[in-house]
């Protein structure tokens, strides 16, 4: 090469193997000219400062032997490199072990640190962290050493890791895992951790991997000083995170206080997992007081007792470890078919529905008895209790389950139940999970009170959502299948699902039998003056309609595909879903998954 001589060994010098006899500078870079065996410099042809061209002889050398005591030119082990030592020290400064006081306070409250939660979520040694050396944008008001010690990672731990590797051996399944760190400025959203969110959301979008976000924290941070902006409303974090909806699964986890911007992140998620004792609100105490709306303790704002019943929270966790367990189980349904699976004794399903058609029963017994052992994960259990929505597996295959709950309003569909089921169908459709509906409903709920809840609009969501999903659907009529409610549960018609079968207890009609008799035979019944005779006549009419509308009768008209032994239900489900083609999906199927 062409270059300038920076250093050159003197004649007679001993040079170790790999040592440089000349150092050249070329284009601002230094290049060693080395020997490949122990050598002695015989003659020096150039001087320091000479410009040499390619092919120039620099020195003459000859092979030499010398003892370890001889002074020689060459690389020596001078101990740890300073640059590497600095990097290792900076990384360690942000770890829990270097922040004893903050970590101890967190543990004393019964909580785990952000790093402990992320470490539990991802498989061992699989996590790579983005931006661990970032500090809060407060250099104008605090020293850098103080910021390094007290604001590691600017309060947001985030990166890529593998999840559930043991469940799906040989199949790489990574997620973006992110956690606000409540020990750093109360988990507030600062300038730098907004930028980290932007970066990781972009990574999730490009890699098409799920996001798990531990969103505990107090919202926006007013104390950052290093930016040039005024309002901060030009930040992209909320835009970018909302755009992920329907593209990749989004899991939100919170415990303690989750207010303002943190709550907005949480609310964008497909599923919200909240620890006992959580408080979730779009505004914390300071914002409420600042708005002139009164002074409140943070524990009075959005307590879990409220948020689990109004539909904000999907799953309630006992503690941090339980929340991570639920998150990993939820993610597993979007990772494919499990290798290990087992099922309950299917013959027990024959006895779940009472022979007395008026006797209530628990549909959870059907769900738990039908699907693989320990595979059912019910979402929003405390909201819209007339409807059951759950993720489950059949022979290891993940499916979505929508079922009426006859213990609430006899299974009639109200506004909350309709919203809950419609939104869940969107979730299943967005991520290609086939749907099983278990039908036992007298229809849509009726009456002046329920109409005040905008029932007409809410119940219609079931139709417009169910009819337009593209994933395979199988409907099983467990008992009652009446009116518009039954049609809504079956995507609009008994012929809309790929299979619609009934158990022997199934019964069908345009409306409930008792109501149909009272409406259709009002005059005839009114003409009977003896109350006992009138009731007997009424019951005879109901029995006659039941015989006409029971599953065996309906099947002869081919309004349904078959009446089956409940023990054969899994066989029907697997036959249909195994036959359904799968397509490689690019991008989104739906614009987004409705947050409600």
* Share in percent of the chain as helix, strand, coil (round to 5): 35, 20, 45
123: DSSP letter:
P
Mean pLDDT for all residues in the chain = 93
Structural tokens at position 229: 């902006």
> By C-alpha distance, which of 175, 172, 138, 176 is closest to 157?
176
Counting every residue written for the chain, the total comes to 596
Q: Which residue is associated with the tokens 């990672």?
A: 153
β-pairing verdict for 128-129 and 39-44:
unpaired
Residue 396: which of 376, 374, 377, 372 has the closest Cα? 372
Residues contacting 304, CB < 8 A, separation 6+: 274, 275, 276, 277, 278, 279, 280, 313, 316
Share of the chain above pLDDT 70, in %: 98
Instruction: Pick from 179-183, 282-286, 537-541 the range whose average pLDDT is largest.
Output: 179-183
Any idea where the domains of the chain sit in the sequence? 3-63, 84-332, 346-506+550-579, 512-549
Task: Name the 3-class secondary structure at 363.
Answer: helix
Q: Is 540 exposed, middle or buried (0-12, 13-18, 19+ CB in 10 A)?
A: exposed
pLDDT level of residue 68 (50, 70, 90 thresholds):
low
Cα(243)–Cα(42) distance, integer angstroms? 70
Q: Which of these ranges, 172-186, 417-431, 537-551, 576-590, has the smallest mean pLDDT?
A: 537-551
Q: CA–CA separation, 398 vs 18, rounded Å?
A: 60
| Cβ pair 333, 173 in contact under 8 A | no
CA distance 275 to 320: 7
Question: What's the CATH number of domain 346-506+550-579, 3.30.365.10, 3.30.980.10, 3.40.1190.20, 3.90.226.10?
Answer: 3.90.226.10
Q: Are 384 and 419 in contact (CB under 8 A)?
A: yes
Question: H helices within 166-281, ranges in order?
Answer: 191-207, 237-243, 261-267
Q: Quick one: pLDDT at residue 75?
A: 54
**The pLDDT value given to residue 460:** 96
Give the pair of three-digit tokens for residue 448. Answer: 């002046």
Q: Which tokens belong to 188?
A: 């507030």
Strands 59-63 and 473-482: unpaired
Torsion sign, CA atoms 407, 409, 412, 418? negative
pLDDT digits (tens, 9 = 90+) for 343-381: 999 999 999 999 999 899 999 999 999 999 999 999 999
Cα dihedral 587→591→595→596 (10° resolution): -130
pLDDT tens readout for residues 334-347: 999 998 889 999 99
C-alpha–C-alpha distance, residues 436 and 389, integer Å: 10
Give burial (CB, 10 Å; 0-12/13-18/19+) of 149: middle
pLDDT attached to residue 69 = 67
Alpha carbon 472 to its chain centroid, in Å, reads 23
CATH of domain 84-332: 3.90.226.10
Tokens read off for 213: 């976000």
Mean predicted confidence (pLDDT) in 183-192: 93
Under the banding of pLDDT at 50, 70 and 90, the label for residue 24 is very high
Q: What is the CATH number of domain 3-63?
A: 2.40.50.100
Residue 529's CB is within 10 A of a number of other CB atoms, namely: 7
Average pLDDT over residues 483-490: 96
Among the ranges given (234-238, 451-455, 552-556), the one the predictor scored with the smallest mean pLDDT = 234-238
Contact 441, 407 (CB under 8 A): no
Kindly state the DSSP code that residue 285 receives in the 8-state scheme: H
Q: Where are the alpha helices (DSSP H) in 402-512?
A: 415-430, 448-451, 455-466, 483-489
pLDDT given at position 414: 97
- Kindly list the distances between the CA atom of residue 198 and the CA atoms of 83, 204, 221, 444, in Å, as whole numbers in the listed order: 29, 10, 17, 44
pLDDT value at position 430?
Answer: 97
Residue 225, number of CB atoms within 10 A of its CB: 12
The predicted-structure confidence for 221-239, as pLDDT tens digits, reads as follows 888 888 777 777 888 899 9
The reported pLDDT for the residue numbered 77 is 59
What's the CA gap between 552 and 387, in Å, rounded? Answer: 26
Lowest pLDDT segment from 12-26, 122-136, 394-408, 507-521: 507-521
Helix 455-466 / helix 415-430 crossing angle, nearest 10 deg: 20
Tell me the two tokens of residue 478: 């467990």
Instruction: Give the Cα-Cα-Cα angle 252, 418, 394 (nearest 5 degrees).
Output: 65
Handedness of CA 199, 201, 204, 206 (dihedral sign): negative
Task: Enter the pTM of the model.
Answer: 0.90
Burial of 272 per CB tally in 10 Å (0-12, 13-18, 19+): buried
Domains 3-63 and 346-506+550-579 share a fold: no
Strand partners, 220: 189
Tokens of 68: 């370890």
- Give pLDDT, residue 538: 85
């Amino acid at each position: 090469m062409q270059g300038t001589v920076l250093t050159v060994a003197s004649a007679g010098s001993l040079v170790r193997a790999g040592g440089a006899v000349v150092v050249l500078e070329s284009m601002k870079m230094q290049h060693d000219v080395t020997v490949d065996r122990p050598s002695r410099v015989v003659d020096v042809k150039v001087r320091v400062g000479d410009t040499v061209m390619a092919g120039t002889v620099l020195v003459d050398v000859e092979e030499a032997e010398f003892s370890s005591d001889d002074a020689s030119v060459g690389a020596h082990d001078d101990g740890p490199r300073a640059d590497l030592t600095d990097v290792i020290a900076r990384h360690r400064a942000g770890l829990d072990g270097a922040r004893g006081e903050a970590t101890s306070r967190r543990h004393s409250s019964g909580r785990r640190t952000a790093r402990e939660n992320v470490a539990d979520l991802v498989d061992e040694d699989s996590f790579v962290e983005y931006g661990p050396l970032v500090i809060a944008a407060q250099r104008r008001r605090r020293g850098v050493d103080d910021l390094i010690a007290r604001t590691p990672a600017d309060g947001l731990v985030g990166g890529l890791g593998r999840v559930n590797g043991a469940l799906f051996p040989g199949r790489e399944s990574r997620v973006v895992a992110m956690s606000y760190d409540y020990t750093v400025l109360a988990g507030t959203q600062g300038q730098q951790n907004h930028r980290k969110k932007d970066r990781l959301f972009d990574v999730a979008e490009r890699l098409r991997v799920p996001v798990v976000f531990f969103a505990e924290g107090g919202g926006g941070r007013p104390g950052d000083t290093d930016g040039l902006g005024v309002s901060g409303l030009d930040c992209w974090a909320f835009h970018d995170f909302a755009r992920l909806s329907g593209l990749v699964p989004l899991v939100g986890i919170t415990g303690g206080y989750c207010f303002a911007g943190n709550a907005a992140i949480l609310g964008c998620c497909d599923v919200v997992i909240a620890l006992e004792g959580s408080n979730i609100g779009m505004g914390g105490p300071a914002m409420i007081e600042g708005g002139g709306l009164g002074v409140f303790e943070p524990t009075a704002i959005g307590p879990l007792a409220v948020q689990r019943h109004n539909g904000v929270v999907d799953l309630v966790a006992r503690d941090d470890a339980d929340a991570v367990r639920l998150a990993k189980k939820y993610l597993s349904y979007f990772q494919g078919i499990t290798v290990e699976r087992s099922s309950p004794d299917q013959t027990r399903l024959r006895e779940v529905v009472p022979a007395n058609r008026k006797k209530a029963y628990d549909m959870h017994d059907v769900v738990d008895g039908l699907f693989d052992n320990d595979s059912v994960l019910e979402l929003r259990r405390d909201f819209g209790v007339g409807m059951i929505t759950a993720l489950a597996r059949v022979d290891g295959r993940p499916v979505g389950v929508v079922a009426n709950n006859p213990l609430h309003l006899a299974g009639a569909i109200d506004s909350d139940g309709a919203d809950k089921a419609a939104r869940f169908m969107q979730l299943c459709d967005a991520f290609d999970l086939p749907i099983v509906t278990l039908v036992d409903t007298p229809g849509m709920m009726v009456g002046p009170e329920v109409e005040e809840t905008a029932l007409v609009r809410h119940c219609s969501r079931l139709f417009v959502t169910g009819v337009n999903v593209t994933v395979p659907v199988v409907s099983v009529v467990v008992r009652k299948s009446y009116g518009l409610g039954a049609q809504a549960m079956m995507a609009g018609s008994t012929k809309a699902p790929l299979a619609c079968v009934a158990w022997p207890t199934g019964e069908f009609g345009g409306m409930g039998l008792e109501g149909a008799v009272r409406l259709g035979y009002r005059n005839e019944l009114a003409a009977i003056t003896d109350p006992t005779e009138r009731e007997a006549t009424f019951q005879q009419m109901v029995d006659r309609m039941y015989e006409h509308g029971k599953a065996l009768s309906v099947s002869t008209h081919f309004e349904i595909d078959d009446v089956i032994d409940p023990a054969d239900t899994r066989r029907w489900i697997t036959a249909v879903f195994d036959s359904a083609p799968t397509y490689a999906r690019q991008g989104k199927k739906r614009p987004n998954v409705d947050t409600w």
